[in-house]
Structure 1
Amino acid sequence: MLLMEKVAKLTRQNDTFALAMIIESKGSTPSHVGKMIVYRDGTIEGTVGGGLAEHYIIEESVKALEKGQSKIVEYKLNKHAKDGIQMNCGGTLRVFIEVYTSRPELVLAGAGHLGYALAKLADFLEYPYCIVDDRIGYCTKERFPNASNLFVNEDIGEAMLAANLNEKSYVVIVTKDRDDIALKMALQFPIAYIGMVASKRKVINIFEKLKSEGVTQEQLEQIHSPIGLEIGSETTEEIAISIIGEIIKLSRENKPIKVKQLNR
């Protein structure tokens, strides 16, 4: 597989990686052209010439991935030059390190009006998303044509389980009346984010119920409810914008929720 074909594949898979590309070389260098995929653990595919310069480029790529920011690095391949690295080539090398960060994978638990508005925003942002619901009439391909998957089950806990939640999952609970069941199931997985639309009284009641069923206080504190950024939202579409805004903001941190296996 050609390297750029692999880049396209990784992008489709919504993976996080960096692509290091030689953008300028002067004088004697190990290579004048080259591309290299660098993963978060420092493993690579491709090359930008090998040697000590490539070693430094890998290190800088990993740092760029940690910060989530692309950058340009430059090296003097001359151990006798000021700021040069321990190489004898004598030339200079400039490399662009482009960071590809995974997009939030939305799990929209609830196919009603707000779930629909969130799906439309996800379509615009090209965020992958799936729909979870217990109502066959709402959770349909006609209603959500761009959803990656539809998970429908009369037991919404089973529907949530089928969604295969993981560290990339940003779960938004907007169900009709099964919030506690959806929350309890979602909290069994190391998800990136979980938020729930609910009144203050409803939140208190649901949290007390979940505590009695073994959910820890630490887990409850990671649930975003009220959900969304405080922007004075009133309409369904405005609320959807505030929720997506919060997800965009928090996706930069990407700290998975701590889990505790619960009895179902």
Structure 2
Amino acid sequence: MLLMEKVALLTRQNENFALAMIIESKGSTPRHVGKMIVYCDGTIEGTVGGGLAEHYIIEESVKALQTGKSKIVEYKLNKHAKDGIQMNCGGTLRVFIEVYQSRPELILTGAGHLASALAKLADMLEYPYCVVDDRFGYATKARFPNATNIFVNEDIGEALLEASPTERSYVIIVTKDRDDRVLKTALQFPIAYVGMVASKRKTITIFEKLKSEGVTPEQLEQVSSPIGLEIGSETTEEIAISIIGEIIKLSRETKPVKVKQLNR
């Protein structure tokens, strides 16, 4: 497989990685052209020439993945030059490190009008999403044609269990009812985010119920409810925009806080 084909595959698989590419070389260097995929653990595919310069480029790529910011790095491959590295080639090398970050993976828990609006925004942003509901007539491929999967069960908590949320999952609870069941189920997984559409009064009621069932206040503090950015939204579409806006903001934070899971 060609390296750029692998880049395309990793992008489709929603993986985190960096692509280091030589953009300029002067004088004697190990290579004048080259590309290299760098993963979060420092493993690579491809090469930009090997040696000490490549070692430094791998280090910088891992740092770029940690911060989520692309960068350009430059090295003088001359141990006698000022700011040079311990190499004898004598030339200079400039490399562009492009960061490919995984996109938030949405779990739309509820398949009503708001979920439909959220799905359209997810399609536009190329965010993968699945749909969870207890209504077979709502959670359909016809209504959510681009969903990666649809999970329907008369017990919506079981449907969410089938979705198997991961640390990349952003669970958005927009159900018609049983929010408490769904929220308690979501907190069983090490997810990136859980948000629930509810009024302040309803949120308090649900939280008190879950506390009586063993959910800790610390865990409930991690729940975003009411959900979305404060933009004065009123219509379904505006609410969907505020929710996606909140997820974009949180997903771009350098160190996103993962939801602490309940013991199952």
Classify the TM-score, shorter chain.
over 0.9
What is the CA–CA distance in structure 1 between the aligned matches of 2:216 and 2:9, rounded to whole Å? Answer: 39
Structure 1 residue 218: Cα displacement: 1.2
CA distance in 1, matches of 2:198, 2:249: 21
Written as runs of structure 1 = structure 2, the 5 A alignment for 1:232-247 is 232-247=232-247
Name the structure 2 match of 1:159.
159
Counterpart CA distance in 1 for 2:85 and 2:42 is 20
The within-5 A match list for 1:87-98 is 87-98=87-98
Equivalence for 2:141: 141
Distance in 1 (alpha carbons) for counterparts of 2:208 and 2:109: 21
Equivalent residue, structure 2, for 1:120? 120
Deviates more, 1:251-260 or 1:6-15: 251-260
TM-score (norm 2): 0.98
Listed as ranges, the gaps of 5+ residues in structure 1 are none
- Equivalent in the alignment of 1:211: 211
CA distance in 1, matches of 2:170, 2:90: 49
Distance 1:51 1:214 in 2: 55
Code of the aligned partner of 2:46:
G
Query: Helix, strand or coil for the counterpart of 2:79?
Result: coil
Cα distance between partner residues in 1 of 2:193 and 2:36: 32
Report the secondary structure of 2:72's partner residue.
strand
Q: Distance in 2 between matches of 1:141 and 1:198?
A: 27
Q: Structure 1 runs of 4+ off > 4 angstroms?
A: none
Matched, 1:39 2:39: yes
CA shift at 1:260, angstroms? 2.0
Q: 1:10 is matched with which residue? A: 10
In 1, Cα distance between equivalents of 2:174 and 2:230: 18
Q: Aligned residue for 1:256? A: 258
Q: What are the equivalent positions in structure 2 for 1:95-110 lying under 5 Å apart?
A: 95-110=95-110
Q: Decide which moves more: 17-26 or 212-221.
A: 212-221
1:64 aligned partner, one-letter code: A
Q: CA deviation at 1:190?
A: 0.6
Task: Give the whole-Å Cα distance in 2 for the aligned partners of 1:158 and 1:5.
Answer: 38
For 1:72, the equivalent position in structure 2 comes to 72
What secondary structure sits across from 1:117 in the alignment? helix
Alpha-carbon separation, structure 1, partners of 2:198 and 2:262: 24
Which residue identity lines up with residue 119 of structure 1 in the other structure? A
Q: Deviations over 1:13-46 (max 9, x none)?
A: 1000000001111111111111111111111111
Task: Output the amino acid matched with 1:131.
Answer: V
Partner in structure 2 of residue 51 of structure 1: 51
Aligned to 1:73, what secondary structure does the other structure show? strand
Whichever residue aligns with residue 35 of structure 2, its letter is: K
Deviation at 1:10, TM superposition (A): 0.7
TM-score between both structures, scaled by the size of structure 1: 0.98
Structure 2 CA distance for aligned equivalents of residues 261 and 157 of structure 1? 16
SS in 2 for 1:245: helix
Counterpart amino acid of residue 151 in structure 1 = F
Determine what percentage of the aligned residue pairs are the same residue. 83
Shift of the alpha carbon at 1:82? 1.0
CA distance in 1, matches of 2:257, 2:41: 17
Q: Tell me the CA shift for residue 246 of structure 1.
A: 0.2
Shift of 1:231: 0.3
CA distance, structure 1, for counterparts of residue 261 and residue 169 of structure 2: 14
Taking the aligned partners of 1:30 and 1:75, their CA distance within structure 2 comes to 12
How far did residue 166 of structure 1 move?
A: 0.3
Aligned equivalents of 1:77, 1:156: Cα separation in 2: 60
Partner residue, 1:227: 227
In the other structure, the counterpart of 2:170 is 170
For the aligned residue pairs, the C-alpha RMSD in angstroms reads 0.8
Q: CA shift at 1:86, angstroms? A: 0.8
Measure, in 2, the Cα distance between the counterparts of 1:226 and 1:141.
Answer: 29
- 1:58-113 Cα offsets, whole Å, 9 max, x none, are 11101111110111111000011111111100000010000000000000001011
For the residue of structure 2 that corresponds to 1:223, the secondary structure is coil
